[in-house]
Structure 1
Amino acid sequence: MKKTILAFTLVIILFLGGCLAPSKKGEVETENTSYPLIITDQLGREVTIEEEPERIVSGYYISTSLLIALDLQDQIVGIENKPEKRPIYKLAAPRLLQRPNVGTMKELNMEMVLELEPDLVILPVKLKDNIEALEELGIKVIAVNPENSDLINEMIAIISKATNTIDRGDRLVEAIDRYTKKLGTLLDGIDEKTVYLGGNSEFLNTAGSKMYQDTLITLARGKNVATEIEDSYWVNVSYEQLLKWDPDVIILASEAEYSKDDVLNDTAIRDIKAVKNKAVEVIPNNIEAWDSPVPSSVLGSLWMASVLYPDKYSNEEFNLDVQEFYSTFYNIEVNVNE
Structure 2
Amino acid sequence: MQKTLYHCIFSLLIFTLLFSSCQSDQRKKSDTTYPIIALDALGDTIRLTKPAERVVSLVPAALDALYMLHADSAIVGVPNRSYTDPNVFPYLSKLDPRIKARLIASPTLSESGMSMETIIKLNPDLVIIQSNQTDAIQMLKELGIPVFGITSQNFGQLNQEVLNLGILLGKETRAKELIAFTDRKIQVLKERNKNIRNKKTIYYAWSGGRIYSTTGRKGLINDCFEMAGLENACPYEIDAPNISPETLISWNPDILLLWNTDESVLYQQKELSSLTALKEKKVFNLSPPFLYDPHTLKIVLASIAIHHYSYPTAAAATLNAEQLEILSALYGEEKAKLILQ
**TM-score, with normalisation over the residues of structure 2?**
0.82
Shift of 1:170: 0.8
* 1:122-178: CA deviation from partner (whole Å, max 9, x where unpaired): 111121221111011100111111111101110111000111111111110011101
Identify the structure with the greater helix proportion. 2
8 Å contact from structure 1 (residues 106, 126) kept in 2: no
Structure 1 CA distance for aligned equivalents of residues 299 and 122 of structure 2:
30
**What are structure 1's unaligned runs of at least 5 residues?**
1-33
* 1:39-82: CA deviation from partner (whole Å, max 9, x where unpaired): 22110001111112111100000110000001111210001112
Change (3 A) 1:100 1:281: same
Counting only pairs closer than 5 Å after superposition, residues 70-85 of structure 1 correspond to structure 2 as 70-84=69-83, 85=85
Counting only pairs closer than 5 Å after superposition, residues 9-88 of structure 1 correspond to structure 2 as 36-84=35-83, 85=85, 86=88, 87-88=90-91
Q: Which amino acid aligns with 1:196?
A: Y
State the SS of the aligned residue for 1:139. Answer: coil
Change (3 A) 1:153 1:193: same
* 1:250-309: CA deviation from partner (whole Å, max 9, x where unpaired): 0101x22xx21221242211111101111001001264342x311212111111000111
Counting only pairs closer than 5 Å after superposition, residues 96-111 of structure 1 correspond to structure 2 as 96=99, 97-103=102-108, 104-111=110-117
Change (3 A) 1:242 1:159: same
Counting only pairs closer than 5 Å after superposition, residues 165-184 of structure 1 correspond to structure 2 as 165-184=171-190
Alignment correspondent of 2:291: 288
Q: Which amino acid aligns with 2:95?
A: A
8 Å contact from structure 2 (residues 200, 230) kept in 1: yes
Structure 2 CA distance for aligned equivalents of residues 35 and 68 of structure 1:
25
Alignment correspondent of 2:144: 138
Counterpart of 2:221 (choices 213, 236, 240) is 213
Q: Which amino acid aligns with 1:99?
A: I
* 1:188-212: CA deviation from partner (whole Å, max 9, x where unpaired): 1412100010111311111112222
Change (3 A) 1:38 1:45: same
State the SS of the aligned residue for 2:148. Answer: strand
**What are structure 2's unaligned runs of at least 5 residues?**
1-32
Shift of 1:337: 8.3
* 1:15-43: CA deviation from partner (whole Å, max 9, x where unpaired): xxxxxxxxxxxxxxxxxxx9522222110
**Deviation larger for 121-130 or 152-161:** 121-130
Alignment correspondent of 2:330: 329
Counterpart of 1:195 (choices 199, 202, 211) is 202
8 Å contact from structure 2 (residues 126, 148) kept in 1: yes
* 1:200-242: CA deviation from partner (whole Å, max 9, x where unpaired): 1311111112222111111111111113151x4x332111000
Q: Which amino acid aligns with 2:202?
A: V
8 Å contact from structure 1 (residues 264, 280) kept in 2: no
State how many pairs are aligned: 298
Structure 2 CA distance for aligned equivalents of residues 337 and 226 of structure 1:
33
Alignment correspondent of 2:314: 312
Counting only pairs closer than 5 Å after superposition, residues 215-234 of structure 1 correspond to structure 2 as 215-230=223-238, 232=239, 234=240
* 1:287-338: CA deviation from partner (whole Å, max 9, x where unpaired): 4342x31121211111100011111116x53221210122233232349987
Structure 2 CA distance for aligned equivalents of residues 247 and 336 of structure 1:
33
| RMSD of equivalent CA atoms | 2.0
8 Å contact from structure 1 (residues 195, 247) kept in 2: yes
Q: Which amino acid aligns with 1:297?
A: I
Shift of 1:105: 4.3
8 Å contact from structure 1 (residues 107, 127) kept in 2: no
Counterpart of 1:92 (choices 86, 90, 95) is 95
Structure 1 CA distance for aligned equivalents of residues 302 and 338 of structure 2:
14
Q: Aligned residues: percent identity? A: 24
Structure 2 CA distance for aligned equivalents of residues 140 and 166 of structure 1:
18
Shift of 1:186: 0.8
Shift of 1:91: 2.0
